[in-house]
A and B are shown apart, each in its own frame.
Chain A
Amino acid sequence: MLEKFKDSVASRLGLERSDLCAGDRTLGEVLGMSPVATNSIDLLEAVAAAIAENDLEDRVDIPAFTLDHTVDELMAEIERQLSDNERLPV
Protein backbone atom coordinates (compact mmCIF):
# COMPACT_ATOMS: atom_id res chain seq x y z
CA MET A 1 0.00 0.00 0.00
CA LEU A 2 2.77 2.43 0.93
CA GLU A 3 4.48 1.92 -2.43
CA LYS A 4 1.27 2.75 -4.26
CA PHE A 5 0.88 5.76 -2.01
CA LYS A 6 4.39 6.97 -2.88
CA ASP A 7 3.64 6.48 -6.58
CA SER A 8 0.54 8.66 -6.26
CA VAL A 9 2.42 11.43 -4.42
CA ALA A 10 5.32 11.34 -6.90
CA SER A 11 2.98 11.39 -9.88
CA ARG A 12 1.11 14.43 -8.55
CA LEU A 13 4.43 16.22 -8.12
CA GLY A 14 5.57 15.30 -11.63
CA LEU A 15 8.34 13.11 -10.18
CA GLU A 16 9.35 9.44 -10.06
CA ARG A 17 8.96 7.36 -6.93
CA SER A 18 12.74 7.04 -6.82
CA ASP A 19 12.98 10.85 -6.47
CA LEU A 20 11.11 10.58 -3.19
CA CYS A 21 13.11 7.66 -1.90
CA ALA A 22 16.65 8.81 -2.58
CA GLY A 23 18.50 9.53 0.66
CA ASP A 24 16.90 11.45 3.46
CA ARG A 25 15.29 14.14 1.30
CA THR A 26 13.36 16.91 2.96
CA LEU A 27 9.99 17.92 1.60
CA GLY A 28 11.52 21.31 0.79
CA GLU A 29 14.08 19.55 -1.41
CA VAL A 30 11.35 17.52 -3.10
CA LEU A 31 9.42 20.74 -3.72
CA GLY A 32 12.51 22.21 -5.35
CA MET A 33 12.74 19.21 -7.70
CA SER A 34 9.08 19.23 -8.71
CA PRO A 35 8.30 20.84 -12.07
CA VAL A 36 4.68 21.49 -11.04
CA ALA A 37 4.58 22.26 -7.30
CA THR A 38 5.48 25.69 -5.97
CA ASN A 39 4.76 25.61 -2.25
CA SER A 40 3.60 23.58 0.73
CA ILE A 41 -0.04 23.73 -0.37
CA ASP A 42 0.91 21.86 -3.54
CA LEU A 43 2.65 19.25 -1.38
CA LEU A 44 -0.44 18.99 0.81
CA GLU A 45 -2.47 18.47 -2.34
CA ALA A 46 -0.18 15.69 -3.57
CA VAL A 47 -0.59 13.86 -0.26
CA ALA A 48 -4.35 14.49 -0.15
CA ALA A 49 -4.72 13.21 -3.71
CA ALA A 50 -2.76 10.07 -2.82
CA ILE A 51 -5.12 9.48 0.11
CA ALA A 52 -8.15 9.90 -2.18
CA GLU A 53 -6.72 7.78 -5.03
CA ASN A 54 -5.95 4.92 -2.65
CA ASP A 55 -9.34 5.11 -0.86
CA LEU A 56 -7.73 5.88 2.47
CA GLU A 57 -10.02 8.75 3.49
CA ASP A 58 -11.24 6.91 6.58
CA ARG A 59 -7.91 5.44 7.62
CA VAL A 60 -5.49 8.30 7.10
CA ASP A 61 -5.67 11.94 8.06
CA ILE A 62 -3.67 14.35 5.95
CA PRO A 63 -0.54 14.65 8.10
CA ALA A 64 0.73 18.05 9.16
CA PHE A 65 4.31 18.59 8.06
CA THR A 66 6.85 21.33 7.49
CA LEU A 67 9.20 21.68 4.56
CA ASP A 68 11.99 20.61 6.91
CA HIS A 69 10.38 17.21 7.52
CA THR A 70 11.83 14.39 5.44
CA VAL A 71 9.94 12.17 3.01
CA ASP A 72 10.76 9.27 5.33
CA GLU A 73 9.11 11.04 8.25
CA LEU A 74 6.02 11.73 6.18
CA MET A 75 5.76 8.13 5.00
CA ALA A 76 6.39 6.80 8.52
CA GLU A 77 3.42 8.85 9.69
CA ILE A 78 1.21 7.46 6.90
CA GLU A 79 2.38 3.95 7.80
CA ARG A 80 1.65 4.57 11.48
CA GLN A 81 -1.88 5.73 10.74
CA LEU A 82 -2.49 2.78 8.44
CA SER A 83 -1.28 0.40 11.11
CA ASP A 84 -3.30 2.11 13.88
CA ASN A 85 -6.44 1.96 11.76
CA GLU A 86 -5.94 -1.45 10.18
CA ARG A 87 -8.92 -2.87 12.05
CA LEU A 88 -11.24 -0.42 10.36
CA PRO A 89 -13.32 -2.00 7.63
CA VAL A 90 -12.16 -0.83 4.18
Chain B
Amino acid sequence: MRIIAQLVKEIQRNNYSISDVLRIQQIYHESRRWSVYDVIGSAGRIHADERDKAALWHASRAELTTQPAGIRLAVDGVKLAQNLAKSNPLGANIAHIAAAWSARYWLEEEAHHEVAYGMLLEMVGLDPVAHDDVTMHRGFFPTDNYARVCMLQACVEIEATVTYGEMAKTSHEPVIKEVFHRIMKDEVQHREYFVSFAKALLDAGVYPIKDVLSMAYTWIRPNGGEMFGSARPRQTSREGFVNWWEHVVMDGSTGVALRDDQIRAEPMQAKKVRSVLAAVQHATGVPVKSIAELKYAYLASLTTNDVDRIRHAVAQGVQKKNGLEAELVNLH
Protein backbone atom coordinates (compact mmCIF):
# COMPACT_ATOMS: atom_id res chain seq x y z
CA MET B 1 0.00 0.00 0.00
CA ARG B 2 2.01 2.91 -1.20
CA ILE B 3 2.66 5.50 -3.84
CA ILE B 4 5.62 4.57 -6.02
CA ALA B 5 7.80 7.63 -5.65
CA GLN B 6 10.56 6.39 -7.98
CA LEU B 7 8.42 5.06 -10.77
CA VAL B 8 11.10 4.61 -13.43
CA LYS B 9 13.54 2.96 -11.02
CA GLU B 10 10.93 0.52 -9.73
CA ILE B 11 9.56 -0.31 -13.15
CA GLN B 12 13.07 -1.15 -14.30
CA ARG B 13 14.08 -2.99 -11.14
CA ASN B 14 10.92 -5.09 -10.88
CA ASN B 15 10.10 -5.32 -14.56
CA TYR B 16 6.63 -3.96 -13.77
CA SER B 17 4.03 -3.83 -16.53
CA ILE B 18 1.45 -1.05 -16.71
CA SER B 19 -1.07 -3.43 -15.13
CA ASP B 20 1.29 -4.21 -12.23
CA VAL B 21 1.56 -0.53 -11.38
CA LEU B 22 -2.18 0.05 -11.76
CA ARG B 23 -2.86 -2.79 -9.32
CA ILE B 24 -0.60 -1.11 -6.77
CA GLN B 25 -2.58 2.10 -7.34
CA GLN B 26 -5.83 0.15 -6.93
CA ILE B 27 -4.75 -1.44 -3.63
CA TYR B 28 -3.72 1.94 -2.26
CA HIS B 29 -6.93 3.57 -3.46
CA GLU B 30 -9.12 0.88 -1.87
CA SER B 31 -7.22 1.09 1.40
CA ARG B 32 -7.84 4.83 1.66
CA ARG B 33 -11.45 5.19 0.60
CA TRP B 34 -14.01 6.79 2.84
CA SER B 35 -17.72 7.40 2.47
CA VAL B 36 -19.06 10.94 2.30
CA TYR B 37 -22.48 9.73 3.41
CA ASP B 38 -21.09 7.79 6.37
CA VAL B 39 -19.17 10.83 7.61
CA ILE B 40 -21.73 13.55 6.91
CA GLY B 41 -25.01 11.71 6.58
CA SER B 42 -25.22 10.89 10.29
CA ALA B 43 -24.28 14.39 11.44
CA GLY B 44 -26.83 16.19 13.57
CA ARG B 45 -27.03 19.95 13.72
CA ILE B 46 -24.01 21.80 12.45
CA HIS B 47 -22.88 24.99 14.13
CA ALA B 48 -20.84 26.84 11.56
CA ASP B 49 -19.32 30.23 12.12
CA GLU B 50 -18.53 32.80 9.42
CA ARG B 51 -15.06 31.37 8.93
CA ASP B 52 -16.44 27.87 8.33
CA LYS B 53 -19.01 29.21 5.88
CA ALA B 54 -16.43 31.16 3.89
CA ALA B 55 -14.19 28.10 3.67
CA LEU B 56 -17.06 25.89 2.50
CA TRP B 57 -18.24 28.48 -0.03
CA HIS B 58 -14.77 28.46 -1.60
CA ALA B 59 -13.94 24.76 -1.30
CA SER B 60 -17.28 23.68 -2.82
CA ARG B 61 -16.49 25.77 -5.91
CA ALA B 62 -12.78 24.96 -6.12
CA GLU B 63 -13.49 21.23 -6.12
CA LEU B 64 -15.74 21.58 -9.17
CA THR B 65 -12.69 22.43 -11.27
CA THR B 66 -10.93 19.13 -10.71
CA GLN B 67 -13.18 17.25 -13.10
CA PRO B 68 -12.10 19.12 -16.26
CA ALA B 69 -8.46 18.91 -15.15
CA GLY B 70 -8.76 15.16 -14.56
CA ILE B 71 -10.41 14.59 -17.91
CA ARG B 72 -7.68 16.58 -19.66
CA LEU B 73 -4.90 14.62 -17.94
CA ALA B 74 -6.57 11.33 -18.76
CA VAL B 75 -7.06 12.15 -22.44
CA ASP B 76 -3.74 13.90 -23.00
CA GLY B 77 -1.87 11.17 -21.13
CA VAL B 78 -3.12 8.54 -23.55
CA LYS B 79 -2.33 10.80 -26.52
CA LEU B 80 1.19 11.34 -25.18
CA ALA B 81 1.61 7.59 -24.68
CA GLN B 82 0.58 6.94 -28.25
CA ASN B 83 3.04 9.54 -29.53
CA LEU B 84 5.86 7.99 -27.48
CA ALA B 85 5.02 4.34 -28.16
CA LYS B 86 7.86 3.76 -30.64
CA SER B 87 10.40 6.40 -29.69
CA ASN B 88 10.27 6.03 -25.89
CA PRO B 89 8.36 2.94 -24.66
CA LEU B 90 9.24 3.62 -21.01
CA GLY B 91 7.94 7.18 -21.31
CA ALA B 92 4.81 5.83 -22.98
CA ASN B 93 4.21 3.49 -20.04
CA ILE B 94 4.59 6.38 -17.59
CA ALA B 95 2.06 8.43 -19.58
CA HIS B 96 -0.40 5.50 -19.61
CA ILE B 97 0.02 5.06 -15.85
CA ALA B 98 -0.52 8.77 -15.15
CA ALA B 99 -3.53 8.90 -17.47
CA ALA B 100 -5.12 5.86 -15.83
CA TRP B 101 -4.55 7.20 -12.32
CA SER B 102 -6.13 10.49 -13.30
CA ALA B 103 -9.13 8.86 -14.99
CA ARG B 104 -9.78 6.36 -12.20
CA TYR B 105 -8.57 7.43 -8.82
CA TRP B 106 -8.00 11.16 -8.92
CA LEU B 107 -11.38 11.86 -10.49
CA GLU B 108 -13.15 9.45 -8.12
CA GLU B 109 -11.50 10.84 -5.01
CA GLU B 110 -12.08 14.43 -6.05
CA ALA B 111 -15.74 13.59 -6.64
CA HIS B 112 -15.94 12.79 -2.91
CA HIS B 113 -14.55 16.22 -2.15
CA GLU B 114 -16.98 18.02 -4.43
CA VAL B 115 -19.98 16.18 -2.98
CA ALA B 116 -18.82 16.49 0.64
CA TYR B 117 -18.24 20.23 0.51
CA GLY B 118 -21.44 20.75 -1.51
CA MET B 119 -23.49 18.90 1.11
CA LEU B 120 -21.89 20.75 4.01
CA LEU B 121 -22.46 24.06 2.26
CA GLU B 122 -26.19 23.45 2.29
CA MET B 123 -26.20 21.99 5.80
CA VAL B 124 -24.72 25.21 7.21
CA GLY B 125 -27.51 27.22 5.60
CA LEU B 126 -25.77 28.62 2.53
CA ASP B 127 -27.29 28.42 -0.94
CA PRO B 128 -26.28 25.45 -3.07
CA VAL B 129 -23.81 26.28 -5.85
CA ALA B 130 -26.04 27.68 -8.59
CA HIS B 131 -26.38 25.93 -11.96
CA ASP B 132 -24.49 28.65 -13.86
CA ASP B 133 -21.72 28.61 -11.29
CA VAL B 134 -21.40 24.82 -11.62
CA THR B 135 -21.18 24.92 -15.41
CA MET B 136 -18.73 27.83 -15.33
CA HIS B 137 -16.41 25.77 -13.13
CA ARG B 138 -16.52 22.91 -15.66
CA GLY B 139 -14.72 24.94 -18.37
CA PHE B 140 -12.23 22.89 -20.38
CA PHE B 141 -8.74 22.57 -18.98
CA PRO B 142 -6.19 23.59 -21.65
CA THR B 143 -3.66 21.19 -23.13
CA ASP B 144 -0.03 21.75 -22.15
CA ASN B 145 3.26 19.93 -21.73
CA TYR B 146 2.37 16.97 -19.45
CA ALA B 147 5.26 17.42 -17.01
CA ARG B 148 4.30 21.06 -16.52
CA VAL B 149 0.70 20.09 -15.88
CA CYS B 150 1.76 17.44 -13.34
CA MET B 151 3.85 20.04 -11.52
CA LEU B 152 1.02 22.57 -11.72
CA GLN B 153 -1.37 20.04 -10.18
CA ALA B 154 1.18 19.25 -7.45
CA CYS B 155 1.24 22.97 -6.61
CA VAL B 156 -2.56 23.16 -6.60
CA GLU B 157 -2.72 20.14 -4.29
CA ILE B 158 -0.23 21.87 -1.99
CA GLU B 159 -2.44 24.98 -1.96
CA ALA B 160 -5.45 22.82 -1.05
CA THR B 161 -3.54 20.80 1.54
CA VAL B 162 -2.39 23.88 3.44
CA THR B 163 -5.72 25.72 3.32
CA TYR B 164 -7.82 22.66 4.17
CA GLY B 165 -5.32 21.70 6.85
CA GLU B 166 -5.82 25.07 8.48
CA MET B 167 -9.58 24.53 8.63
CA ALA B 168 -9.08 21.03 10.01
CA LYS B 169 -7.03 22.57 12.81
CA THR B 170 -9.07 25.65 13.57
CA SER B 171 -12.76 24.96 12.91
CA HIS B 172 -14.82 24.48 16.08
CA GLU B 173 -17.41 22.25 14.39
CA PRO B 174 -16.45 18.54 14.60
CA VAL B 175 -18.03 17.47 11.28
CA ILE B 176 -16.42 20.34 9.39
CA LYS B 177 -13.05 19.58 11.00
CA GLU B 178 -13.43 15.92 10.12
CA VAL B 179 -14.28 16.55 6.45
CA PHE B 180 -11.49 19.08 5.94
CA HIS B 181 -9.07 16.69 7.62
CA ARG B 182 -10.04 13.71 5.44
CA ILE B 183 -9.88 15.74 2.27
CA MET B 184 -6.56 17.28 3.24
CA LYS B 185 -5.13 13.76 3.61
CA ASP B 186 -6.40 12.86 0.14
CA GLU B 187 -4.78 15.99 -1.31
CA VAL B 188 -1.43 15.08 0.26
CA GLN B 189 -1.55 11.73 -1.58
CA HIS B 190 -2.50 13.46 -4.82
CA ARG B 191 0.46 15.80 -4.52
CA GLU B 192 2.75 12.80 -4.10
CA TYR B 193 1.31 11.13 -7.17
CA PHE B 194 1.71 14.23 -9.33
CA VAL B 195 5.30 14.75 -8.21
CA SER B 196 6.07 11.09 -8.90
CA PHE B 197 4.63 11.38 -12.42
CA ALA B 198 6.57 14.58 -13.11
CA LYS B 199 9.75 12.91 -11.88
CA ALA B 200 9.10 9.79 -13.95
CA LEU B 201 8.58 11.86 -17.10
CA LEU B 202 11.95 13.54 -16.49
CA ASP B 203 13.68 10.26 -15.59
CA ALA B 204 12.32 8.61 -18.73
CA GLY B 205 13.66 11.48 -20.83
CA VAL B 206 10.25 12.62 -22.04
CA TYR B 207 10.73 16.20 -20.84
CA PRO B 208 13.69 18.27 -19.63
CA ILE B 209 14.12 19.46 -16.05
CA LYS B 210 13.32 23.04 -17.00
CA ASP B 211 9.64 22.19 -17.46
CA VAL B 212 9.22 21.26 -13.80
CA LEU B 213 11.29 24.22 -12.64
CA SER B 214 9.40 26.77 -14.74
CA MET B 215 6.07 25.70 -13.29
CA ALA B 216 7.32 25.65 -9.70
CA TYR B 217 8.84 29.10 -10.16
CA THR B 218 5.64 30.43 -11.72
CA TRP B 219 3.75 29.19 -8.70
CA ILE B 220 5.82 30.58 -5.84
CA ARG B 221 7.77 33.49 -7.29
CA PRO B 222 7.57 36.67 -5.26
CA ASN B 223 5.36 39.54 -6.43
CA GLY B 224 2.88 37.80 -8.62
CA GLY B 225 3.27 34.05 -8.32
CA GLU B 226 0.13 31.96 -8.71
CA MET B 227 0.28 31.30 -4.98
CA PHE B 228 -0.89 34.89 -4.42
CA GLY B 229 -3.97 34.28 -6.59
CA SER B 230 -6.62 36.95 -6.32
CA ALA B 231 -4.45 39.04 -3.98
CA ARG B 232 -2.33 40.05 -6.97
CA PRO B 233 -2.89 43.57 -8.28
CA ARG B 234 -3.55 42.23 -11.81
CA GLN B 235 -4.59 38.87 -13.18
CA THR B 236 -4.96 37.60 -16.72
CA SER B 237 -8.58 37.71 -17.82
CA ARG B 238 -9.51 34.18 -18.88
CA GLU B 239 -12.27 32.22 -20.51
CA GLY B 240 -12.77 28.49 -20.16
CA PHE B 241 -11.04 26.80 -17.26
CA VAL B 242 -11.39 28.44 -13.85
CA ASN B 243 -8.21 28.75 -11.78
CA TRP B 244 -10.02 28.77 -8.44
CA TRP B 245 -7.15 30.49 -6.61
CA GLU B 246 -7.70 33.51 -8.85
CA HIS B 247 -11.32 33.69 -7.67
CA VAL B 248 -10.79 33.72 -3.91
CA VAL B 249 -13.12 36.38 -2.53
CA MET B 250 -11.39 38.81 -0.19
CA ASP B 251 -13.99 41.55 0.04
CA GLY B 252 -15.42 41.36 3.56
CA SER B 253 -18.73 42.91 2.53
CA THR B 254 -19.63 39.80 0.49
CA GLY B 255 -20.18 37.67 3.57
CA VAL B 256 -18.13 34.80 2.12
CA ALA B 257 -14.65 36.33 2.06
CA LEU B 258 -11.76 34.12 3.13
CA ARG B 259 -9.70 35.78 5.82
CA ASP B 260 -5.97 36.08 5.39
CA ASP B 261 -5.37 33.58 8.18
CA GLN B 262 -7.39 31.01 6.21
CA ILE B 263 -5.29 31.07 3.06
CA ARG B 264 -2.49 33.60 2.67
CA ALA B 265 -1.10 34.45 6.08
CA GLU B 266 2.69 34.40 6.09
CA PRO B 267 3.14 31.06 7.93
CA MET B 268 0.78 29.39 5.44
CA GLN B 269 2.55 30.87 2.45
CA ALA B 270 5.90 29.77 3.91
CA LYS B 271 4.57 26.24 4.33
CA LYS B 272 3.43 26.18 0.69
CA VAL B 273 6.84 27.41 -0.48
CA ARG B 274 8.64 24.72 1.53
CA SER B 275 6.37 22.09 0.10
CA VAL B 276 6.85 23.24 -3.52
CA LEU B 277 10.64 23.35 -3.03
CA ALA B 278 10.57 19.81 -1.63
CA ALA B 279 8.49 18.70 -4.63
CA VAL B 280 11.06 20.27 -6.97
CA GLN B 281 13.88 18.46 -5.23
CA HIS B 282 12.10 15.12 -5.46
CA ALA B 283 11.10 15.55 -9.09
CA THR B 284 14.40 16.91 -10.42
CA GLY B 285 17.10 15.80 -7.97
CA VAL B 286 18.19 19.44 -7.64
CA PRO B 287 18.11 20.60 -4.00
CA VAL B 288 16.66 24.10 -3.71
CA LYS B 289 16.23 25.73 -0.31
CA SER B 290 14.76 29.08 -1.35
CA ILE B 291 12.93 30.79 -4.20
CA ALA B 292 16.22 32.47 -5.16
CA GLU B 293 17.86 29.05 -5.48
CA LEU B 294 14.92 27.86 -7.54
CA LYS B 295 15.46 30.84 -9.86
CA TYR B 296 19.14 29.98 -10.30
CA ALA B 297 18.23 26.38 -11.02
CA TYR B 298 15.60 27.41 -13.55
CA LEU B 299 17.89 29.82 -15.39
CA ALA B 300 20.63 27.18 -15.53
CA SER B 301 18.18 24.55 -16.78
CA LEU B 302 17.53 26.68 -19.85
CA THR B 303 21.01 25.83 -21.11
CA THR B 304 21.64 22.38 -19.64
CA ASN B 305 19.61 19.34 -18.58
CA ASP B 306 22.48 17.95 -16.52
CA VAL B 307 21.53 17.73 -12.83
CA ASP B 308 25.09 18.22 -11.60
CA ARG B 309 25.57 21.32 -13.72
CA ILE B 310 22.31 22.78 -12.49
CA ARG B 311 23.31 22.05 -8.88
CA HIS B 312 26.64 23.72 -9.51
CA ALA B 313 24.93 26.77 -11.03
CA VAL B 314 22.73 27.04 -7.92
CA ALA B 315 25.78 26.92 -5.65
CA GLN B 316 27.54 29.52 -7.79
CA GLY B 317 24.46 31.74 -7.84
CA VAL B 318 24.17 31.63 -4.06
CA GLN B 319 27.87 32.39 -3.66
CA LYS B 320 27.67 35.33 -6.07
CA LYS B 321 24.52 36.66 -4.41
CA ASN B 322 26.13 36.50 -0.97
CA GLY B 323 29.19 38.29 -2.37
CA LEU B 324 27.07 41.04 -3.91
CA GLU B 325 25.10 41.50 -0.73
CA ALA B 326 28.33 41.83 1.25
CA GLU B 327 29.59 44.35 -1.29
CA LEU B 328 26.39 46.38 -1.00
CA VAL B 329 26.70 46.41 2.78
CA ASN B 330 30.25 47.76 2.38
CA LEU B 331 29.03 50.43 -0.07
CA HIS B 332 26.62 51.70 2.55
A residues neighboring B (CB under 8 Å): 28, 38-41, 44-45, 48-49, 51-52, 57-58, 61-69, 87-89
Does the CB pair B299–A52 fall under 8 Å? yes
Which residue from B210, B234, B320 sits with its C-beta under 8 Å from A69? B234
What are 12 A-B residue pairs whose CB atoms fall within 8 Å in the complex?
A41-B144, A41-B215, A45-B214, A48-B214, A48-B299, A48-B302, A57-B295, A58-B320, A64-B225, A68-B237, A88-B328, A89-B324
A68 to B218 Cα, complex, angstroms: 17
Shortest A15–chain B CB gap in Å is 18
Interface residues of B (CB under 8 A from A): 142, 144-145, 148, 210, 214-215, 217-218, 221-225, 232, 234-237, 295-296, 298-300, 302-303, 317, 320-321, 324, 327-328, 331
- Which residues of chain A come closer than 8 Å to B214, judged between CB atoms? 41, 44-45, 48
- Taking CB as reference atom, which chain B residue is nearest A51? B299
Q: How many Å lie between the Cα of A54 and that of B197 in the bound state?
A: 34
B317 CB contacts on chain A under 8 angstroms: 57
Closest 5 CB pairs of A and B: A64-B224, A66-B236, A67-B236, A52-B299, A49-B302
Instruction: Summarize B's interface: helix, strand, loop or mixed.
Output: helix
**Shortest Cβ distance from residue A68 to the other chain B in the assembled complex, whole angstroms:** 6
B142 / chain A contacts, CB cutoff of 8 Å = 39
Q: Whose C-beta in chain B lies nearest to the C-beta of A64?
A: B224
Asked if A41 contacts B148 (CB within 8 A), the reply is yes
Taking CB as reference atom, which chain A residue is nearest B152?
A: A41
